[in-house]
Amino acid sequence: MKFYNKEPKSQNMSFELSQRLKALPPYLFKELDQVRDEVKARGVDIIDLGVGDPDRPTPAPVIEALQKAAADPANHRYPLYSGLNAFKDVVAGWYQKRHGVTLEPATEVCSLIGSKEGIAHFPLAFVNPGEVVLIPEPGYPVYNSGTLFAGGRPVFMPLLEKNGFRPDYQAVDEATAAQAKIIWVNYPNNPTGATATLDFYAGLVAWAKKWRIIVASDAAYSEMTYDGRPHPSILEVPGAKEVALEFHSVSKTYNMTGWRLGWAAGGADFIRGLGQIKNNVDSGVFQAVQVAGMAALNGDQEPVRAMGRLYQERREALVKGLAAAGLTVFPGTATFYVWVRLPAGLKSAEFSSRLLHEAGIVATPGNGFGPSGEGFARFALVQEVDRLNEAAARLAKLKF
């Protein structure tokens, strides 16, 4: 028998990342955290308005529901892949009450480990290598990364202030529309705080039917509106389920970002495709968390309205300082983000760096959400009013 002799592998060997990972831009919020921590280590009092993570606790009845459900041995085993039937029933009931939309829970609702997970996985179900996905920018980075993971070709749609930060989908050329598989929309919008109307959704649905394009609507911020103004769902449009589905979550609405619970709702074909991906890559959402989600959706919604009033108060406190610093604020009426236009010639990264080093305030540079975000910055209203007043005072001392 002949033995093959070779040199042992080096203990210092390294492996090259896949092309799909190399194609991704650096994840914005990870980089922000690193720079913030470096400045904080120097003893600077940091007011962090970077990441959109609610600072108030989850409502007590939701926590109590989780505690009770977590003690039930029935919830200690593998959950149903597509979600507890009772949870999907509650989601369907919420859509009927909130939007007047009728859903079949078994086939038109799927639970998610937070909406981010579903958004990232959805292109894997419908996008073939080289097919186009239409992505708004500035926008949530996961629309792009999910497309790249599926081998799709991102085509970006600029969100411009003159259009109310809504995409001009009619401007998509015919050759691109013919190759497109999905169009992403997100209203109320991150990062701009812009909203959509039912007429906008109706026009988009009609256009998507013409080109046989799936409309994937990210509605994570739909309950975060000011002055009690309800925001429509794309599923309110008659016939929308033929081409559309909606991604939603309890994260921002009920201060449950760490709980990781969301859902997708809409056309049965879309829910089935997403479910097939999930069957192969995860084992569903911990059932006790779904029970807690049911308590949130079925419970008293006054805490949600109270948070809306609080975010509006916080916004007013911060805007005073922004205006005193000579900055222009987009008049959004939803989300807990403030979208700020910078003076001409001032780059987003330069502004955010100066703000951090000179005032100890973390803000997200707009270009981190896409090229059309250059010249803008995003502030998240995730500090108490007294801290926002302090941020306003620091801003007022700066001139841009």
Check which CATH number belongs to the domain holding 207 and give it. 3.40.640.10
pLDDT reported for residue 191: 97
254, 283, 298 - which closes a domain: 298
Residues 216 and 334 in one domain: no
Q: What are phi and psi of 301, to 5 degrees?
A: -90, 5
The values of phi and psi at residue 104, to 5°, are: -90, 110
* Domain identity same for 391 and 249: no
Mean pLDDT of 113-126: 98
Q: Are residues 252 and 370 in the same domain?
A: no
Does 3 map to a domain?
no
| 315 CB-side CA count, 13 A | 24
User: Whole-angstrom Cα distance, residue 161 to residue 316?
Assistant: 21
Q: Are 84 and 184 members of one domain? A: yes
Report the pLDDT value the prediction gives residue 41, as an integer from 0 to 100: 80
Boundary residue ending a domain (256, 283, 298): 298
The answer to whether residues 108 and 204 belong to one domain is yes
Q: Which residue from 270, 360, 396, 368 is spatially nearest to 37, judged by alpha carbons? A: 360
Residues 6+ apart with CB under 8 A from 108: 92, 241, 265, 266, 267, 268, 271
Q: Which two tokens stand for residue 62?
A: 């939701």
Q: Is 60 exceeded by the pLDDT of residue 130?
A: yes
Classify residue 107 by burial, with Cβ atoms within 10 Å: 0-12, 13-18, 19+: middle
- Tell me which of 3-7, 204-208, 338-342, 378-382 is least confident: 3-7
Q: What's the pLDDT at 92?
A: 98
How far apart (Å, rounded) are the C-alpha atoms in residues 10 and 17? Answer: 18
Same domain, 349 and 364: yes
Same domain, 293 and 308: no
- Residue 140 lies in domain: 77-298
Average per-residue pLDDT for the chain: 93
Does the pLDDT of residue 393 top 80, yes or no? Answer: yes
Q: What is the CATH number of the domain that holds 349?
A: 3.90.1150.10
- Report the distance separating Cα 98 and Cα 106, nearest Å: 19
Q: Is residue 64 part of a domain?
A: no
**Phi, psi torsion values for 240, nearest 5 degrees:** -60, -35
Report yes or no on 66 lying in a domain: no
pLDDT computed for residue 37 by the predictor: 80
pLDDT over threshold 60, residue 9: no
pLDDT above 70 covers a percentage of the chain that reads: 95
Q: Is the pLDDT of residue 4 over 80?
A: no
Model pLDDT, residue 1: 47
Q: Which of 173-187, 230-244, 291-305, 312-326 has the lowest mean pLDDT?
A: 312-326
122 within a domain of the structure (yes/no)? yes
Return the SS3 of 364: strand
Percentage of the chain lying above the pLDDT 90 cut:
83
Domain ends where: 298, 333, 353? 298
CA dist., res. 221 & res. 248, Å (int): 8
pTM of the model: 0.92
Number of domains in the chain: 2
Structure confidence at residue 14 (pLDDT)? 82
- Alpha carbons 309 and 331: distance in angstroms, whole number: 16
Do 348 and 239 lie in one domain? The reply is: no
pLDDT value of residue 22: 84
User: Does residue 44 or residue 385 have the better pLDDT?
Assistant: 385
Higher pLDDT, 32 or 45: 45
- Note whether residue 289 is domain-resident: yes
Are residues 363 and 381 both part of a single domain? yes
Residues 352, 252 within the same domain: no
Q: Which are the contacts of 339, defined by CB distance < 8 A and separation ≥ 6?
A: 165, 191, 192, 193, 329, 330, 332, 366, 376, 377, 378
- Decide if 253 is inside a domain: yes
pLDDT at 116 over 60: yes
For residue 115, tell me if it sits in a domain: yes
Q: Does 65 fall in a domain?
A: no
CB 179 within 8 A of CB 317: no
Quick one: pLDDT at residue 3? 47
For 199-210, what is the mean pLDDT?
98
* φ/ψ (deg, to 5) at 126: -135, -10
> Token digits for 81?
């892949």
Q: Are residues 84 and 191 in the same domain?
A: yes
Instruction: Give the model's confidence band at 30: pLDDT under 50 very low, under 70 low, under 90 confident, else very high.
Output: low
281 plus 134 within the same structural domain: yes
The pLDDT of 320-327, averaged and rounded, is 91
